[in-house]
Amino acid sequence: MRTLKLVIQYDGTTYVGWQRQPNGVSIQALVENALAAIEGGRVVVDAASRTDAGVHALGQVASVRLAHPIDRLSLRRALNATLPPDVRVADVQEESPEFHARYAAREKTYRYRILAGEVPSPFERRYVWHVTTPLDVDRMALAIRDLVGRHDFSAFAAAGGAAQSPVRTITSASVAWEPTGQRPFGSGPSPVLAIEVAGDGFLRHMVRTIAGTLVEIGRGRLEPSAIASALSSGDRQAAGPTAPASGLVLVRVVY
Amino acid sequence: MRTLKLVIQYDGTTYVGWQRQPNGVSIQALVENALAAIEGGRVVVDAASRTDAGVHALGQVASVRLAHPIDRLSLRRALNATLPPDVRVADVQEESPEFHARYAAREKTYRYRILAGEVPSPFERRYVWHVTTPLDVDRMALAIRDLVGRHDFSAFAAAGGAAQSPVRTITSASVAWEPTGQRPFGSGPSPVLAIEVAGDGFLRHMVRTIAGTLVEIGRGRLEPSAIASALSSGDRQAAGPTAPASGLVLVRVVY
């Protein structure tokens, strides 16, 4: 058996998320079915991140064990010929047998995008959270620094998560306006504010709750100290709401 | 009656184009119907450019005459509440009675986007033409200069166009790779080549035929002199194929 590493991009808008679900189409099912057709038998694919319904990926990483000898470029071509156009395999690499996309991941980077301004661009609407109230980005930038380091992130996790430890290490966190040329077709009338967070792992809904809390801080409904207070209290009620899935993208995974 | 100028953005993917058609939904019908509901009577909207099916707009401009006294910001809000999310009114301005979006336009700018590389980004696929063969951009840049100036563009026009003059003046024309950060979520694996053309007017399919001809030049199937030859011959057969609508966007209109 060979072990392969796949880098996968997807527009998550119409999917139930990475993981197979009974109620809709998952990215995992699409990729496993496309691989099974080549392998001629059942295939299990493990991903670095089990992204939620509606969340996107620029650099999701998955691992798979295959017996079939197809070369990596032909495999990429065959997968992309089978997958729908909003799911693309950007890269296929041979890996050592012990490689596992989830357990071997050292750092993941997520970006959460907020479209400010009155009118949301038709080209951005699937990939942002549209926030019409003014945001004080200096307050948000001050608050986000408190995320960096090793913390118990219980206050930023969805209820009903796994019984694993809620301690994670955030290695970097930033909030900044995207350059106006960074959107499709160049600048539109509404600027995009990007929150970027990297760390060794994330609890369920963690980045979206960070984004929701930062927006409350930017709107003036919470103080910049709210991030530190929520972290030390461990109380989900101390953090802000969970921001919509559409604004979130898994940017990259480092091994 | 007041005369208003609307700036409209749309993702043209699912529409039959600007102009009302019997076979599907047009942007014109959507905007006229939304305005008619406010006006309480029939409304006619004239646009600077009658974009084809599948063509996008960042800055389409339309003019309309209304009796209703609604203020411009309320009108924008009411229109955006009625229109589907892939059609947005970005701006509404009062204009003098003689303003007409089509006849008063002095310059229009179009961009045609080509996604190079093996794997098309899921986030770009609606807004590009995916070309997998390598392109020599220096050849394309050399050829595109021959477009600038006042020419008979018959060789670049669709058959069956109106009986108007085929002479147009192109004021600028360029071809360049977009900075890698200029796509949604920053750089993906595949670069985007942008052809940008500005002029006093364009014949039907003209920008798409320019793009199709430039790609033939970039692929080495036509010489860089092919643009000049096609212009002087006036022969549609001397130009390249009409590139797909998905790659084309009306960027702006100057009055």
pLDDT at A186: 46
- DSSP states of A168-225 as a string? EEEEEEEEEEPPGGGSTTS--SS-EEEEEEEES---TTHHHHHHHHHHHHHHTSS-TT
pLDDT at B92: 96
Inter-residue contact B208 to B242 (CB < 8 Å): yes
B55 touches chain A (CB under 8 A): no
**Binary contact (A119, B76; C-beta < 8 A):** yes
Mean pLDDT confidence for A234-254 = 96
Average pLDDT, chain A: 93
Question: How many other β-carbons are positioned within 10 Å of the β-carbon of residue B85?
Answer: 12
Among A126-135, B7-16, B177-186, where is mean pLDDT lowest?
Answer: B177-186
pLDDT at B118: 82
The residue written with tokens 């609307």 in the block is: B6
B86 touches chain A (CB under 8 A): yes
Q: Which residues of A touch B124 (CB under 8 A)?
A: 184
Mean pLDDT confidence for B107-122 = 91
Percent of chain A whose predicted confidence (pLDDT) is above 90 = 87
pLDDT at B191: 84
pLDDT at B159: 76
pTM of the full structure: 0.88
Find, in chain A, the residue whose alpha carbon is nearest to that of B182. Answer: A182
Count the alpha carbons within 13 Å of B254 in the hemisphere toward its beta carbon: 10
Active site residue A52: yes
- pLDDT band per the 50, 70, 90 thresholds, residue B180: low
Among candidate residues B11, B46, B52, B86, the one labeled active-site is B52
The answer on pLDDT for A8 being more than 80 is yes
A113 touches chain B (CB under 8 A): yes
Mean pLDDT confidence for A82-110 = 96
B117 touches chain A (CB under 8 A): no
Q: Are strands B56-66 and B248-254 parallel, antiparallel or unpaired?
A: parallel
CA distance between the termini of chain A: 21
The alpha carbon of residue A231 is apart from the nearest alpha carbon of chain B, in Å, by: 28
Cα dist from B20 to A64, B31, B77, B87, B208, whole Å: 50, 11, 24, 15, 21
pLDDT at A182: 46
A161 touches chain B (CB under 8 A): no
Mean pLDDT confidence for A14-26 = 96
Residue-wise pLDDT tens digits, A176-222: 988 765 444 444 556 889 999 999 999 999 999 999 999 999 999 99
Residue-wise pLDDT tens digits, B69-99: 999 999 999 999 999 999 999 999 999 999 9
**Binary contact (B186, A182; C-beta < 8 A):** yes
pLDDT at A187: 43
What span, in angstroms and rounded, lies between the C-alpha atoms of B196 and B175?
Answer: 6
Question: How many other β-carbons are positioned within 10 Å of the β-carbon of residue A132?
Answer: 11
Mean pLDDT confidence for B149-177 = 89
